[in-house]
Amino acid sequence: MSGLRSVGALMVLCGAIFLEGIDVAMLNVAAPAIRAELGLETTTLSAVVSLYVLGYAGFMLLGGRAADLLGKRRVFMAALAVFILFSGLGGFATEGWMLLVARFVTGVASAFMTPAGLALITANFAQGPARNQAILIYSATGAAGFSLGLVAGGLLAAVDWRLVFFTPVILAVIIFALTPILIADDGRRDRNRNRSFDLPGAVLLTSAMLLAAFTVTRLENPFHAPVLTVGALVTSLLLAAAFIVVETRRPDPLVRLGILRSDRLVRANLGALLFAAAFFAFQFLVSIYLQELLGWTPLETSLALLAVAVDAVVAPTVTPWLVTRFGTPRVVVAGLALSGLSYALFLRLDLGWTYAAMFPSMILIGLSFAFVYGPLTILATDGIAEAEQGLASALVNTSFQFGAGIGLSAASAISVLALGADPSPDARLEAIRLALLVPVAAISLGILVAVGGLHRQTSRGCIH
């Protein structure tokens, strides 16, 4: 592929991950405005967010494997078309159930679009510095989309919350039009014409993932219908076990289980899960602290978190040099350490804090994103065969998604349990402080996982 076309392909794929990031963030900020107009109950409003997670996490691995078998560009464009249709329908919603359907299907579309997009990155750039640079730019764009979406969501919701659904449609249409022009068709369908699709494996895996994602979202209210939550978890584990049995007997499995023999891939996925759990738990708690205890508006809260977007500048500029100079695993360890420091600093919060006291944590988190998010993606896909890049991409994205759900649910549950029946500001502050131990604990585990991997790779004489 020519240099100019490679740049064009990267711009299109970065536009897609930016779209995914901004779509999630804008809805989170616009949720109060949606509830006000449609008169949604709290449980329905929460489900609008959690159903996206269900669709996204539940179908991610299936989406990644579909990209490998059916063609990366073909799956990418099909998912983008579904995203356009249902995001637009969400903007016309007049009832809660319409939003629920729109967000679930949009999540499913993202589950196919995201791993296909990352797999196209790895397919269009040769392994080494060029691919690493492309992945870092891609990852930084996704993080920037999320950060800017926090602000854009507040601004658009102030005009009309329906713009939060229509704005991504405009960007998605542009990306859809440019994709066949700038990204070559990998033709995977023709090369796999005689291969059967593992339908039993697909049904078992998707069902297990959906139930696992459902269990995660249920943790936010652990005492409401606990039998349902435990039942979903047990059923998910049984389906996962059945999936493993089926895959070991299939001549052409949906997921080749041997891919999990890669120590680097497994550690990268564990690191991604713990890193996402820590950040999303922190973001949730900080939003409560700023708005409910300090009285900040949603837009002011969004602007406060905007400092995290420093990674959009650092990731494509400084991080590639650090990866080349010190090796990807070392950069990941350093980034996780910065993240742990930022969360530990925030444990000192009180009712009289100013933004100046919070700013160091925000900047450190942004730097940690630059040093962790993209490099973990590199580790998770490095050395994986081209035919399984979609699967590897789906695995790491699933880890990020599940980590986000686990972190949010754990932080929410602990803060509710710690608060008890005392609604005073001091009691709420103490509850938030206790819940902030969730990101501290998650990132500490992530550091242990990363350091263990660094030790193994250093002992083998390979740190890149």
Question: For position 178, what pLDDT does the model report?
Answer: 93
Q: Which stretches of 183-262 are DSSP H helices?
A: 188-191, 199-218, 226-249
Question: For position 129, what pLDDT does the model report?
Answer: 82
Q: Tell me if 86 is assigned to some domain.
A: yes
Give the end of a domain, one of 163, 185, 207.
185
pLDDT digits (tens, 9 = 90+) for 352-409: 899 999 999 999 998 998 899 889 988 988 888 877 887 888 888 888 888 887 887 7
pLDDT tops 50 at residue 83: yes
Question: For position 407, what pLDDT does the model report?
Answer: 85
Same domain membership, residue 248 and residue 259: no
Give the end of a domain, one of 253, 281, 298.
253
Same domain membership, residue 313 and residue 224: no
The percentage of residues in the chain with a pLDDT greater than 70, rounded to a whole number, is 91
**What b-and-e string marks burial along 418-452, b requiring 16 or more CB atoms within 10 Å of the CB?**
bbeeeeeeeebeebbbbbbbbbbbbbbbbbebbee
Q: Tell me if 244 is assigned to some domain.
A: yes
Same domain membership, residue 217 and residue 123: no
Same domain membership, residue 291 and residue 357: yes
Give the end of a domain, one of 253, 275, 294.
253
Least confident of 48-62, 271-285, 333-347: 48-62
Alpha-carbon distance 38 to 36, whole Å? 6
Least confident of 109-113, 438-442, 451-455: 451-455
In 3D space, the residue among 231, 440, 248, 243 whose CA is nearest the CA of residue 337 turns out to be 440
Q: Tell me if 194 is assigned to some domain.
A: no
CATH of residue 308's domain is 1.20.1250.20
pLDDT digits (tens, 9 = 90+) for 92-136: 988 888 998 999 899 899 989 988 988 888 777 877 788 888 888
Q: If you average pLDDT over every residue of the chain, what do you get?
A: 84
Mean predicted confidence (pLDDT) in 433-438: 93
Q: Answer yes or no: are the C-beta atoms of 90 and 98 closer than 8 Å.
A: yes
Question: For position 187, what pLDDT does the model report?
Answer: 60
Torsion sign, CA atoms 456, 458, 461, 463: positive
Question: For position 43, what pLDDT does the model report?
Answer: 60
Q: Tell me if 192 is assigned to some domain.
A: no
Mean predicted confidence (pLDDT) in 237-252: 88
Q: Tell me if 193 is assigned to some domain.
A: no
pTM of the prediction? 0.81
Question: For position 238, what pLDDT does the model report?
Answer: 95
Same domain membership, residue 416 and residue 331: yes
Same domain membership, residue 266 and residue 233: no
Question: For position 362, what pLDDT does the model report?
Answer: 92
Q: Which of 73-82, 390-399, 414-423, 450-459 has the highest mean pLDDT?
A: 73-82
Alpha-carbon distance 133 to 211, whole Å? 36
Question: What is the 3-state secondary structure of the chain?
Answer: CCHHHHHHHHHHHHHHHHHHHHHHHHHHHHHHHHHHHHCCCHHHHHHHHHHHHHHHHHHHHHHHHHHHHHCHHHHHHHHHHHHHHHHHHHHCCCCHHHHHHHHHHHHHHHHHHHHHHHHHHHHHCCCCHHHHHHHHHHHHHHHHHHHHHHHHHHHHHHHCCCHHHHHHHHHHHHHHHHHHHHCCCCCHHHHCCCCCCCHHHHHHHHHHHHHHHHHHHHCCCCCCCHHHHHHHHHHHHHHHHHHHHHHHHCCCCCCCHHHHHCHHHHHHHHHHHHHHHHHHHHHHHHHHHHHHHCCCCHHHHHHHHHHHHHHHHHHHHHHHHHHHHHCHHHHHHHHHHHHHHHHHHHCCCCCCCCHHHHHHHHHHHHHHHHHHHHHHHHHHHCCCCHHHHHHHHHHHHHHHHHHHHHHHHHHHHHHHHHHCCCCCHHHHHHHHHHHCHHHHHHHHHHHHHHHHHHHHHHHCCCCC
Grade residue 307 by pLDDT with cuts at 50, 70 and 90: confident
Which residue segment(s) compose the domain that 402 sits in? 255-463
pLDDT digits (tens, 9 = 90+) for 201-217: 878 888 887 788 778 76
Q: Tell me if 191 is assigned to some domain.
A: no
Grade residue 190 by pLDDT with cuts at 50, 70 and 90: very low
Q: Answer yes or no: are the C-beta atoms of 214 and 231 closer than 8 Å.
A: no
Question: For position 144, what pLDDT does the model report?
Answer: 78
Same domain membership, residue 238 and residue 96: no
The angle formed by the CA atoms of residues 340, 345 and 347, to the nearest 5 degrees, is: 100
pLDDT tops 80 at residue 338: yes
Q: How many domains does the chain have?
A: 3
Q: Answer yes or no: are the C-beta atoms of 301 and 291 closer than 8 Å.
A: yes
pLDDT tops 60 at residue 458: no
Question: For position 262, what pLDDT does the model report?
Answer: 83
The more confident residue out of 421 and 23 is 23
Same domain membership, residue 211 and residue 149: no
Same domain membership, residue 273 and residue 175: no
Same domain membership, residue 226 and residue 266: no
Same domain membership, residue 129 and residue 35: yes
HSE toward the beta carbon, residue 323, CA cutoff 13 A: 29
Q: Tell me if 237 is assigned to some domain.
A: yes
pLDDT tops 90 at residue 59: no
Mean predicted confidence (pLDDT) in 209-228: 76
pLDDT digits (tens, 9 = 90+) for 24-36: 778 877 777 787 7
Same domain membership, residue 154 and residue 59: yes
Q: Tell me if 190 is assigned to some domain.
A: no
